[in-house]
Amino acid sequence: MPSTTVRLDAPLDMHLHLRDGEMLHNIAKESAHTFSGAIIMPNLVPPVSSKEEVVAYKERIMEAIGEARFTPYMTLFFKPDYDREFLESVRDEITAIKLYPAGITTNSEGGVSGFDVEELRPALEAMSDLNIPLCVHGETNGFVMDREAEFVSIYEKLAEAFPRLKIIMEHITTKASVEALERFENLYATITLHHLIITLDDVAGGMLQPHLFCKPIAKRPEDREALLNVALAAHPKVMFGSDSAPHPRHAKEACGCAAGVFTAPIALQMLTELFETHNALDNLQAFLSGNAQKIYGITPLTKEVLLEKRPFTIPAEYNGVVPMYAGEEIAYSLKGVRHG
């Protein structure tokens, strides 16, 4: 009996942490092997915020991935004092700019601490004119289960004040964010693999599971349901973004564990299984590539990824980093990668 084979063209990961140094060398190839490209988050220490830094970081990434056919779509770490001249000078080196509220996640200490429209206007008007999308980590400093829902009013304020600016609500985790997508034409969203699968129950409902702990934290069942609905339908305003965020094992399993789930090497296999389970395989291509191409206006490198319905046991580690569901068996295996 022939097994089911699924073909994906030019998969894109529209939210990826590749880190730097040893970690970059340990994990970049995992994404570069199966994805055609990825939006690379700029929250290094110090954050990537100058033309020299973004060019140099891209070079380090290219070195780390070796011969792989992969585009790192670079981003800058948003600062309110970016002016038009600076943005024009860096436009060709970047695909987007990422805004972090100050102190909200790993290495975000230098982020934005107020959302005063007039203070942000010069930078965001220039980005609108230059057609640079603004990617946003949308959380307040409020109670952990409310942070994203509380941020929706800030998304709306920005969307209204800068109607030509493409605003990407990154790694959304709530029904409230899904609903905001419909209210403003210029709001878009990325959704991770893990937020389509887990809720807070999986993190803290049984034993505490550090390898499923991330920011934003996984929310309620009705939130996951809302995310699944738009992802499985490949709603044209949503894209896959893994938010794959490696930490060394000791930092995840220590007392006071760091936030981040590492999914890059298993994302395509698990998404295929998830979409198949929900009879939505026809929409996977759009969720994984087509929507992002339209929203960002990018044409990715050709790459054809074949997945086969054959059990695959997720390794315990990839170069010292524990992936989501380490040791567990999933339904799809990677069969091959072809360049066009």
Smallest gap, in angstroms, from Cβ of residue 260 to a second copy?
11
Residue 324 amino acid letter? M
The Cα–Cα gap between 139 and 155 comes to 10
Six-digit token string for 289: 């590539």
**Does residue 80 have a cis bond before it (omega within 30 degrees)?**
no
Closest distance to a second copy from the beta carbon of 113 (Å): 17
Q: Of 50 and 319, which CB lies nearer to a second copy in the complex structure? A: 319
Based on the residue annotation, tell me whether 83 is a catalytic residue of this protein. Answer: no
Phi, psi dihedral angles at 40 (to 5 degrees)? -100, 120
Annotation-wise, does 235 bind a ligand? Answer: no
Q: Is 15 one of the annotated binding-site residues?
A: yes
Q: Minimum distance from CB of 209 to a second copy (Å)?
A: 6
Q: Do the annotations mark residue 195 as ligand-binding?
A: no
Tell me: is residue 331 an annotated ligand-binding position: no
Instruction: Tell the smallest beta-carbon distance from residue 133 to a second copy (Å).
Output: 29
Polymer length of the chain: 340
**Smaller CB distance to a second copy: residue 95 or 105?**
105
Q: Which is nearer to a second copy, 219 or 235 (CB)?
A: 219
DSSP β-bridge partners for residue 330: 312
Whether 244 contacts 13, CB under 8 Å? yes
Helix H or strand E segment including 90: helix 84-90
Q: Which residues bind a second copy (CB under 8 A)?
A: 143-145, 199-201, 203-205, 207-211, 213, 217, 220-221, 252-259, 322
Closer Cβ to a second copy, 2 or 206, answer by number:
206
Q: Tell whether 19 is in a known binding site.
A: yes
How many Cβ atoms from other residues are within 10 Å of residue 220's Cβ?
A: 15
Catalytic residue among 13, 20, 243, 282: 243
Place of tokens 């760091």: 258
In the DSSP assignment, the letter for residue 163 is: T
Tell me if 98 sits within 8 A of 76, measured CB to CB.
yes
Binding-site residues sit at: 15, 17-19, 43, 98, 137, 171, 243, 247, 259
Binding-site residues for substrate sit at: 17-19, 43, 137, 247, 259
Residues assigned a catalytic role: 243
